Amino acid sequence: MSNICFNVAKGRIAELYARVKGNDPAASVLVLCPIETTGLESDATLIDADTFAVVISGTTNIQATMGKKTLTDADLAAVPAPNDAGDYNELSLPTVTWTGATGSAISKICVCYCADVAGVGTDSNLVPLTMFDFAQTPSGSDIQMTTGAFFRAT
Question: If pLDDT is split at 50, 70 and 90, which confidence band does 154 have?
Answer: confident
DSSP string, 16-34: HHHHHHTTSSTT-EEEEEE
In which element (H, E) is residue 133 found? strand 127-136
Question: Taking the complete model, does pTM exceed 0.75, yes or no?
Answer: yes
**What confidence tens digit (pLDDT) does each residue in 90-109 have?**
999 999 999 999 999 999 99
Domain assignments of the chain as residue spans, ordered by start: 4-153
For residue 58, how far is the Cα from the chain centroid? 19
pLDDT tens by residue, 60-86: 999 999 999 999 999 999 999 999 999
What is the pLDDT confidence band of residue 1, given thresholds at 50, 70 and 90? very low
Is there a contact between 104 and 63 (Cβ–Cβ < 8 Å)? yes
The predicted structure's pLDDT at residue 2: 58
Using a pLDDT cut of 90, give the percent of the chain over it.
Answer: 94
pLDDT for 50 beyond 50: yes
